[in-house]
């Protein structure tokens, strides 16, 4: 009887257990692995894989302690005196730390205040009003930008008689400078895009888009909500004029954490936001007649600063400053690369498509996968303690927070999705 030996798999072919072994090796070699203990992981015992850090980051242990101490000692102990003790300056103090740690922004250009929507409105109005004074009445944006940005732009255009020029973008891709250039001209006041596309995770070339806008005499505004805290930023170096972003995703500020606004120093005293509240006045306690904006980025503030809501953000910025954004970005790229490998091996056979750039330098911190039934699938995953999120019409986003997500956790989430798809397809 003749037997035929089974050939060994090719060296680069997947082997059973390879992904689990790789995940263990990557976690063992991860210089940031120990930082996972900074988070309250045990607070959610029913969650086996948290893959939504790009929507809401996990809480730090230090945040819980800082909130308790603030209530008991600062709010409770100092009462109204806390404002004169330093609370009044928190928008700039926290803004400067955020600029230093995450944004590549020199002091005096960033404040923390309001929500992303409100700050986006303020910055767009400031830029457009300056443009209108020069006969520039057009704003360039893309059709797949985050809804709040598009909605705000539509409202401002109607309010100020401006024209929106839309770039048609593929939801599985993102904005490029080649798409932007043909829409720029002497009437362009502002170009505004998300730095990382909220669906696909595509990372835009902010420096190139900004340069193109400036060549046309326009300003550039970027929404950094899906990049800050996971992607290295250099707003000053790129020449960006304005920026906005939330702090409850990769900055772990908690639900409803305040947003930040960036206004480049060269525009101080020239661009003016329209919501003229008393806390943005040069002398808020003078209580006099007429509005005089505070100098610098403080002029972006309108109402009372959200002091209590900044406490968790400050706790996380301290951690991030200690770790450094280069290490965070390296971990983010490693996590997304491993996730893509797992998707290719485990999910592609079930008809799952990847809607995220393969080039690590062209993607942010999340991976989006697509299949026709993913809305129902996402609900089923949640019921099993695996928490990614769904984005219409057919995408599941796997959000990988570098400091709190492990490679093993990433694999567990993909394996749960594989199992669920196998069950559905077997019916």
Residues involved in catalysis: 146, 223, 248-249, 397
Residue 69 burial (CB count, 10 A): 14
As a whole number of angstroms, the distance between CA 145 and CA 182 comes to 18
Question: Would you give the distance in Å from CA 200 to the centre of its chain?
Answer: 13
Residues 6+ apart with CB under 8 A from 214: 220, 239
What does the CA dihedral 381, 383, 388, 394 come to, rounded to 10 degrees? 60
First-to-last C-alpha distance (Å) of the chain? 42
As a whole number of angstroms, the distance between CA 414 and CA 405 comes to 13
Cβ pair 332, 231 in contact under 8 A: yes
As a whole number of angstroms, the distance between CA 282 and CA 272 comes to 13
Residues in the chain: 427
Tokens 């770790």 sit on residue:
323
The SS3 call for residue 426 is: coil
As a whole number of angstroms, the distance between CA 162 and CA 157 comes to 4
């Amino acid at each position: 009887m003749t037997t035929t030996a089974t050939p060994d798999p090719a060296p680069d072919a997947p082997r059973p257990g390879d992904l689990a072994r790789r995940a263990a090796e990557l976690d063992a070699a991860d210089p940031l692995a120990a930082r996972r203990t900074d988070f309250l992981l045990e607070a959610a015992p029913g969650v086996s894989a948290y893959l939504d850090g790009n929507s809401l980051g996990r809480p730090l242990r230090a945040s819980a302690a800082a909130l308790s101490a603030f209530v008991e000692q600062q709010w409770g102990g100092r009462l109204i005196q806390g404002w004169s003790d330093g609370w009044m300056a928190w928008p700039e103090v926290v803004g400067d730390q955020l600029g230093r740690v995450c944004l590549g922004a020199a002091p005096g250009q960033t404040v923390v205040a309001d929500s992303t929507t409100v700050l986006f409105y303020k910055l767009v109005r400031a830029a457009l009003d300056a443009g209108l004074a020069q006969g520039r009445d057009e704003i360039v944006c893309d059709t797949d930008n985050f809804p709040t940005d598009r909605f705000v732009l539509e409202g401002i255009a109607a309010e100020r008689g401006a024209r929106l020029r839309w770039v048609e973008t593929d939801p599985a891709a993102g904005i490029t400078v080649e798409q932007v250039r043909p829409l720029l001209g002497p009437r362009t006041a502002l170009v505004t895009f998300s730095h990382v596309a909220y669906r696909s995770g595509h990372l835009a070339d902010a420096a190139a888009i900004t340069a193109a806008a400036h060549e046309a005499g326009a300003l550039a505004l970027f929404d950094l909500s899906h990049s800050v805290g996971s992607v290295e930023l250099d707003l000053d170096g790129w020449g960006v004029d304005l920026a906005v972003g939330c702090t409850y995703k990769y900055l772990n500020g908690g639900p409803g954490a305040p947003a930040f606004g960036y206004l480049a120093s060269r525009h101080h005293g020239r661009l003016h936001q329209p919501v003229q509240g008393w806390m943005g006045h040069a002398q808020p306690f003078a209580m006099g007649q007429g509005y005089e904006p505070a100098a610098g980025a403080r002029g972006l503030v309108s109402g009372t600063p959200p002091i209590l809501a900044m406490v968790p953000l400050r706790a996380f910025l301290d951690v991030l400053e200690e770790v450094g954004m280069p290490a965070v970005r390296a971990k983010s790229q490693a996590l997304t690369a491993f996730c893509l490998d797992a998707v290719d091996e485990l999910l592609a056979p079930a008809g799952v498509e990847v809607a995220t750039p393969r080039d690590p330098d062209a993607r942010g911190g999340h991976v989006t996968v697509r299949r026709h039934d993913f809305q129902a699938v996402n609900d089923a995953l949640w019921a099993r303690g695996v928490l990614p999120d769904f984005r219409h019409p057919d995408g599941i986003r796997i959000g990988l927070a570098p400091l709190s997500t492990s490679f093993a956790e990433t694999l567990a989430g993909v394996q749960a999705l594989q199992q669920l798809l196998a069950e559905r397809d077997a019916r």
